[in-house]
Amino acid sequence: MKFSLHDKTLVLSELLIFYMIVVVSCRGPVYKPPETEKLTDYFSRLSVNQSYNVFYGGSNIHMTNNGSSAELILDKSSGSGLISKDKYYYGFFNAALKLPAHFTSGVVVAFYLSNSDMFPHNHDEIDFELLGHEKRRDWVLQTNLYGNGSVHTGREEKFYLWFDPTLDFHDYTILWNNHHIVFLVDNVPIREVVHNTAISSVYPSKPMSIIVTIWDGSEWATHGGKYPVNYNYAPFVTTMKGIQLEGCIKHQNNYASSIVIPTCSRRSTSSLDPVDGEGFMKLSQQQMTGLDWARRKHMFYSYCQDTKRYKVLPPECTAN
Check 14, 37, 125, 157 and give the catalytic one.
125
**129 carries an active-site annotation:** yes
Distance set, CA 126 to CA 9, 26, 65 (Å): 55, 32, 29
Backbone angles phi, psi at 318, to 5 degrees: -75, -30
Assess contact for 9 and 275: CB atoms under 8 A.
no
**Active-site entry in 129, 157, 246, 316:** 129
Distance CA 285, CA 287 (A): 5
Please report the beta strands in the chain, taking only residues with DSSP state E, as ranges in sequence order: 52-56, 61-64, 69-74, 80-84, 87-98, 107-114, 125-132, 139-146, 157-160, 170-176, 180-185, 188-194, 209-216, 236-250, 263-264, 299-302
DSSP state of 112: E
Amino acid found at 253? N
- Determine the length of the chain: 320
CB contact set of 185 (below 8 Å; sequence gap of 6+): 141, 161, 170, 171, 172, 173, 294
Rounded to an integer, what is the distance from CA 305 to the centroid of its chain? 21
Q: Is 14 a catalytic residue?
A: no
Kindly state the DSSP code that residue 269 receives in the 8-state scheme: S
Q: How far is 127 from 160, CA to CA, in rounded Å?
A: 16
Residues forming the active site: 125, 129
